[in-house]
Homo-oligomer: A and B are copies of this chain.
Amino acid sequence: MQYAVLGTGVVGRTIAAKLASVGHEVAIGTRDPQATLARSEADAMGTPPFAHWHQDHPEVRLETFADATASADAVVNATSGAAALDVLARAGAENLDGKLLLDIANPLDFSQGMPPSLNPVNTDSLGEQIQRAFPGVKVVKTLNTMNSAVMVDPARVAGEHHVFVSGDDADAKKAATELLVSFGWPAAAVLDLGDITTARGTEMLLPIWLRLWGALGHADFNFHIQGARAAS
């Protein structure tokens, strides 16, 4: 499969490298590939420049959002949530139509300082916003409830733990589940919450995730729904 990963940050890089390692062709999408490659300083979060990472991952192409998406069979939204709709518009509705879109982002608003707020919240979610804005794409919200290192290496967290999927298209959720299994997730760890409105629930996990990160002092943890097995 050909994947487009939208976003050049740690999450995008981590997912892109994993997709390539399990045998997919991967292009990372960015606004301006030359500008992305030209950066030589770490960003405000201390993330090393993209070009450094790219030297170790030459198998991953770097292209514009539109070029990466046009050639892809499936797309991963790994942008910061606030940028997602703008980035997807640049990727192009015509390039997204009919494809699986894994939305792994969270709509965190850092503008008021830490801890961030969620926007939208309660009666809407980023996953729903994307599905409404691009009705031809098949949005599956998943992986947004954990650190990116855990997304691609679930065994970092010992014991059973869950990854949620939310979406309106059953086949798209099946394809997303197969991808998760190829990442190392046991099929039984994939918990289907229902339609895309259930993304409200997983996005609203972020505030306690951030507090747990603070309380535990590390990010190698994940949510396990104890008792889920009793489901009919």
Contacts and interface: CB of A to CB of B under 8 A. Distances in A.
Interface of A: 112, 115, 117-119, 121-123, 157-161, 164, 191-194, 198, 200-202, 204-205, 207-212, 214-218, 220-228, 230-232
A222 B225 CA distance: 6
Given A121-B122, A193-B211, A230 B205 contact: no
Contact of A160 (B118, B157, B192, B226): B226
A193 B211 CA distance: 6
Nearest to A123: B117
20 contacts: A117-B122, A118-B121, A118-B122, A121-B122, A122-B207, A157-B227, A159-B226, A164-B208, A191-B212, A198-B208, A201-B212, A202-B208, A204-B204, A212-B228, A216-B230, A221-B226, A221-B227, A221-B228, A222-B225, A223-B223
B224 A220 contact: no
Contacts of A218: 227, 230-231
Contacts of A228: 212, 216, 221
A201 to B, nearest CB: 3
A82 to B, nearest CB: 15
Nearest to A220: B227
A212 B226 contact: no
Given A221-B227, A231-B217, A212 B200 contact: no
Contacts of A226: 157-161, 221-224
B217 A232 contact: yes
A109 to B, nearest CB: 9
Contacts of A201: 207-212
A164 B212 CA distance: 10
A204 to B, nearest CB: 5
A222 B230 CA distance: 12
Contacts of A221: 225-228, 230
